[in-house]
Every structure is written in structure tokens, then in C-alpha cells.
Structure 1
Amino acid sequence: MATIDWPVDLTPSKATWGLQSNTETFVSPLNRSTQTVERPGARWKATLEFPHMERDKRRRLEGFLAGLGGMAGRFFLWPHTAPVADLAAVPVDETMSLNFLNQIYQVNGNVVVDGTVTDFKALPTKYWPPNTLVLKAGEYLAAGGELKMATADVYSDLNGWALVPIAPAFRKAPPNLSVVTLTRPTTTMMLSSDEYGVAVMPGFISDTVIISAVEVF
């Protein structure tokens, strides 16, 4: 089954996003000292809550959910809690370009991965506006098909280069020069259950609908 896009017009009234880390803890039977190891496989979880919906929007949601076939379906979902990084939301002149040390880039052009990623918790990037706060801690981005969160404020240097500390760690290094997505960065999700139901009240208005999803890779 092909992976489909979450409908842009189906915006929840409340969205909860969080990480489910993958760790293993060992407690010494001798002195109760504790060691915890972080393992690969952390994944995003999301809960979307929709308020009372009129008939047309309710049918749109029901049709989308039915088409997924329960947990078998896959869909691209972005964090509705913060769909656009602050910098990406700032209007800029599309024709404006800058040249620092012979490195030309557009202020509103695509930010890209710069080189080979060796530390899977840090993303080297370029083509940012120079000497600027380009990402704030807690903002989302996507690279190499994986959704990440900046874990600290990120400032670009004179040449528009920035190293972004991210979580969770990359499962696979994103390709050099691949685009870093700041607007509606997505990850692949599936429903957390094979069942769903939509209660409808008189007047064809639905009761609150809550959908849970989890990242899949």
C-alpha cells in the first residue's frame, strides 16, 4: 500500500507529539548501581483530537481513516503543534542573495545537508542567512526522510553554516546536499489501533474524535 499524505484541511484542535525512546536499564544485584543504555529505534508518537465536526469534514476524516485499512496503512504526518519553523515563516525577498567568502546562497532558498553526517545526533547544514538565530530549541525539521527536533538554539555563522543538535538520532545518514525541510516536516506514521469510531449527534455533528498514531520505519 502506498504511503499517503495527511489531508492539509484536516487540522486537529489539539495535537500531542512526543518521543518513545528505546533504552535498556541494568541494576547491579550487588550495590544497586544503575546503568542505562540508549539504543537505536526511538520513534515519534502523536495524538490528534478533533472537536465537533460538521458533516462534510467528518466524512472527510472518516473516509481517510477507512482508506488506511487500520494499522496496515501508512501516511505522512507533520507536527501540527509547530508546523513551520519561525525562520521559515518570515517573509523575505525571493530575489535576494548574499555572497560571503565566495559562498553564494539565497536567504529563502533551500537549506541543505553539508557533507557526510558522522555524528548521528548533529546535522551539519548550510545556506542559512548569516549570523542569525536559525532554529530554536524544540523546533522540528526533516532530513533524509526522518523527522527531528532541534535540542538547542542554533545560530548560523558568517557563511550561513550551522550545526544542528537533533533528537532522536538519525537511523541513517541523510545524503549530502539533500534538502532540510522546515515547513511541515513529515515522518511516516501508522494508526496505533485497527479500530476507530465516530459518534454522531443530532444534526449530523460528530462528537470529539481522538486518533493515535506512531512512527514506523
Structure 2
Amino acid sequence: MAILTFPDDLLPSGAMFGLQSNTESFTSPLNRATQTVERPGALWRARLTFSTLSEPQQRRLKALLAALNGMAGRLYLWPHGTPAAAIVAARPELAGAAAPQVNGALSDFRLLPSRSWPAATLVLRAGEFIAAGGELKLVTADVTSDAAGLAQIPVAPPFRRAPADRSSIALDKPKALMRPASDTWEFVSTAAWRHETFAVDFIEVPA
């Protein structure tokens, strides 16, 4: 089945984008002390809510969901809570600059080495999303490039596999590969092509 991309012009009235971590807790039977172990496999989850769609938009959304065929389908989805091109728009000094790239190998999968930034510039802020190596990441601290345009980007969750050296880092609408969280969807329409509030849940598919 072909991988689809969620249309940019079908904007939800509300968007939830969150992280489901993968941990396990152990409690001592002697003193009830608890130890928690972090495991690989954290997944992004999303819920898109639609309250006002035109007739053509309703048709396109229903067609997209039907084409996905429940949890068997795959699509690329970007965090709709982040406006398109928000990073570049917030920092005009990035406009027209070369696209940032991965710089060498990762020694720490929570830290992405990068290059091709404007020199000595605040290039990313904590809470912004990026994508590299086919994985969506959240920047966990402000990032300022050095005089050579290099920067170390702290991210969460950790990379599952290292992105290739010199591969691109997406800033505008960075996407995750996701699938519907359920095999069932229902769309209730009323007169004059109005519709009840409608939500769709998605969960990341590890590449």
C-alpha cells in the first residue's frame, strides 16, 4: 500500500501531539522502593479534531480515511499545533540560508550534530519540532550555532537509528510516519453539509 501524506489544507480546529514513552517499573517487595527503566520504542501519538469543514473538505477527509483502510494504512503527518514554517518565520535570519544537515556520526542518540546554519545564531528553540533520518524529534533546549555554523541539537525521544551524515534536517512541517490508531471511523453529517465534531487518532509507526 502506498504511503499517503495528510493534506496541508485540511487544517483541524484542534490538534493534540504527544509522546507515549516506553518504561517499566519495578517495586521492591522489601521496602517498596521503585526503580523505573527506560526502554527504546517511544512513539508519537496525535489526535486531530475537526469542527467546521466545507463540503469538499468533508469528502476529501472521508476519502483519505477510507483509503488508509484502518490500521493497515500509513501516512506522513506533521504536528499541526506548530504553524507551517513557524521556525523560519520566527527567525528571519534563517530565510534563504542553506538547509541544515546532519554533521557526522552520532555518539549520543539524544544529541544531533548539525551543520550549515548561519554563524552564531539562535537557530532552534526548545519545544520546536525537527525531522531527520525519517524520525520526528522535539528540541529540548534552545540551540545556538557556533562561528562555523555548527550546532548540537538535544532531542527527544532518542533516535532509533543514526541519520546519515550530510542528510537533511527538516524544519518546515517535519513529519512522522503514522497509522490510524483504530480500524473504525465515523463521520456524522447533518443538514446543509454541517457535521458534528469529529476526531481522528494516529500513532507513530517505527521505521
Tell me whether the two structures share a fold, i.e. TM-score over 0.5: yes
Tell me the TM-score normalized by structure 1.
0.90
Change (3 A) 1:37 1:129: same
Structure 1 spans left out of the alignment, 5+ residues: 95-106
The offset of 1:86, in angstroms, is 4.3
Identity rate of aligned residues, in percent? 48
The offset of 1:56, in angstroms, is 1.1
2:155 matched residue in structure 1: 166
Q: Which moved more, 1:49-58 or 1:164-173?
A: 49-58
1:77 matched residue in structure 2: 77
The offset of 1:88, in angstroms, is 2.0
1:104 matched residue in structure 2: none
1:193 aligns with 2:182: yes
1:35 matched residue in structure 2: 35
- Determine which structure has the larger helix proportion and give its number: 2
Instruction: Please state whether the residue corresponding to 1:88 is helix, strand or coil.
Output: helix
| Cα distance in 2 between the residues matched to 1:130 and 1:53 | 44
Q: Deviations over 1:106-144 (max 9, x none)?
A: x61110000001200000001111111111100000000
Q: Please show how residues 1-217 of structure 1 align to structure 2 within 5 Å.
A: 1-84=1-84, 86-89=86-89, 90-91=91-92, 108-217=97-206
The offset of 1:19, in angstroms, is 0.3
Tell me the TM-score normalized by structure 2.
0.95
| Cα distance in 2 between the residues matched to 1:92 and 1:165 | 21
The offset of 1:85, in angstroms, is 5.9
1:101 matched residue in structure 2: none
Paired residues of 1:70 and 1:193 also in contact (CA < 8 A): yes
| Cα distance in 2 between the residues matched to 1:211 and 1:93 | 34
Root-mean-square deviation (CA), in Å?
1.5
| Cα distance in 2 between the residues matched to 1:150 and 1:87 | 12
Q: Deviations over 1:143-183 (max 9, x none)?
A: 00000000011111111111000000000000000000000
Structure 2 spans left out of the alignment, 5+ residues: none
The offset of 1:91, in angstroms, is 4.5
Paired residues of 2:102 and 2:167 also in contact (CA < 8 A): yes
The offset of 1:34, in angstroms, is 1.2
Aligned residues: 205
The offset of 1:93, in angstroms, is 9.1
